[in-house]
Structure 1
Amino acid sequence: MAKTWPSDMSPDATPHTSTVTLLDGFATGDPDDVLRLGDLLKDFGPAAFGMLLFLGVLPAFIPVPGVGGAIGGPMVILVGAQLLLGMRKLWLPQFLARRGPHRSAMMRFRQRMAPWLRRLEKLVRPRMAAFLDNRIALSFTGLLLILLGLLLALPIPFTNYVFGILLLLFALALLERDGALLLVAWVAGGIAIVVFGFLSGNLVESLTQLFARWF
């Protein structure tokens, strides 16, 4: 049996708030405000992984080629690496903790995505918690996120929305503690990695270049 998170990391450690409610809160206020990641995530406990992933996915929906992947890809990889290593608390480098999205960006995202998120939330609920607390399952989730983050960061035409929607599934599964949704995200993410990564050669080439730099 794989090790589970200790009791102080249980989902009850942080009061649950729906993703749409969180999004509404982020989008309310002065549009020029900068929502610093360190402030946004400090009270989320273990759910901070899902919250940072959710915020990291937002740039993928910016309709400017290259911008979404360049910003969102590294943030997704950061979340994935920490889950893969079994970290119990999210770590943010200071330069990233001091930065964050403008509230105006959250407003635009809410206008575009909130109706779809509300429909999805009718299906999403806490269940199959073993997939959220199991050390091996979370490490596998982290591995998939690293690969998807790499693909998001690559300049593959017309894929930002595809990876953005896939990563939203992972984010909602972590935030809402929905193991069934996480399984769906595993399958969909695995297919995307094979199709857009290995079959196209993009991911293989990127990983080869990365290992060449390190070793």
Structure 2
Amino acid sequence: MTRPHDPRTTELFQQALDQNTGDTISLEQFIAPLETRAYGFLVVLLSLPNFIPIPMGVGGVCGTSLVIIGAQMLWGMPRPWLPRFARQHGFPRTSVEHFVARMTPMFTRLERVCRPRLEQITRKPWSHFSGLMLILLGILLALPIPFTNYPFGLLILGFGVALIERDGGLLSLVWGATIASSVMVGSLSSAMVALVKHFFG
């Protein structure tokens, strides 16, 4: 159970920098201090491209990655597994420091709102359901639906922060929003199919 003195997200990021003083830092080294909270960190990373104006197709890549991470949570793996090339890929220390500096203000604001509560929801057996919801979010993100990257990106960001901060209250809200989004997308898809059949059937 999380205790009040457990490090917050920003403190964990700083620990990763302090413990690795080389010119390059691998993803494995960076997420090591996060331990079981590494799932949340990877989910946060996958949310970020959705807020950046980059070429189309990012939703498919990030969505597929989310499905893989969600499947590992659904399976019950205590920590996320990454391929060796991804774990050992080295990032320049200056780039990692820049990333932490850019992310710290956002996480500091989130930490004022998020806190460890309803922690049992962030752990097993509920983590299996979180894995299922991540798979669902990944599928929704990968669908070629215009103008959905930003709202789905917000959901994914909230999901990741809830896992890192062990905030079951926020996590339950994200679950509800994910289910509602799925119903909405399903209804919209059914309406589009019906419309096409009406005009071309």
TM-score if structure 1 supplies the norm length?
Answer: 0.71
Shift of the alpha carbon at 1:59? 1.7
Aligned to 1:201: 189
What amino acid is the match of 2:178? Answer: G
Aligned to 1:42: 32
Distance 1:43 1:119, change over 3 A: closer
Aligned to 2:197: none
How is 1:122-201 mapped onto 2 (pairs within 5 angstroms)?
122-135=112-125, 137-195=126-184, 197-201=185-189
Shift of the alpha carbon at 1:179? 0.8
Aligned to 1:59: 49
Output one character per residue of 1:97-131: Cα deviation in whole Å (capped at 9) or x when no partner.
234877659847965x6555433321110111110
What amino acid is the match of 1:160? Answer: N
Aligned to 2:110: 120
* The structure with more helix, counted as a fraction of residues: 2
Gaps of 5+ in 2: 18-22, 194-201
Shift of the alpha carbon at 1:156? 1.6
Of 17-26 and 49-58, the range deviating more from structure 2: 17-26
Distance 1:158 1:185 in 2: 19
Distance 1:62 1:22, change over 3 A: farther
Distance 2:183 2:111 in 1: 28
Aligned to 2:87: 97
C-alpha RMSD of matched pairs (Å) = 3.2
Q: Is the 8 A contact 1:50 1:171 kept in 2?
A: yes
Based on CA coordinates, which of the two structures has the bigger radius of gyration? 2
Distance 2:67 2:24 in 1: 23
- 2:69 pairs, out of 68, 79, 87, with 79
Output one character per residue of 1:154-181: Cα deviation in whole Å (capped at 9) or x when no partner.
2221111111110111111110011111
Shift of the alpha carbon at 1:184? 0.9
Distance 1:201 1:73, change over 3 A: same
Distance 1:144 1:25, change over 3 A: same
Gaps of 5+ in 1: 1-9, 28-32, 206-215
Q: Is the 8 A contact 1:37 1:97 kept in 2?
A: yes
Q: Is the 8 A contact 1:34 1:100 kept in 2?
A: yes
Question: What SS is found at the alignment partner of 1:92?
Answer: coil
- 1:17 pairs, out of 7, 29, 33, with 7
Q: Is the 8 A contact 1:23 1:110 kept in 2?
A: no
TM-score if structure 2 supplies the norm length?
Answer: 0.75
Q: What is the identity percentage for the equivalent residue pairs of Structure 1 and Structure 2?
A: 39
Q: Is the 8 A contact 1:52 1:75 kept in 2?
A: no
Shift of the alpha carbon at 1:70? 3.3
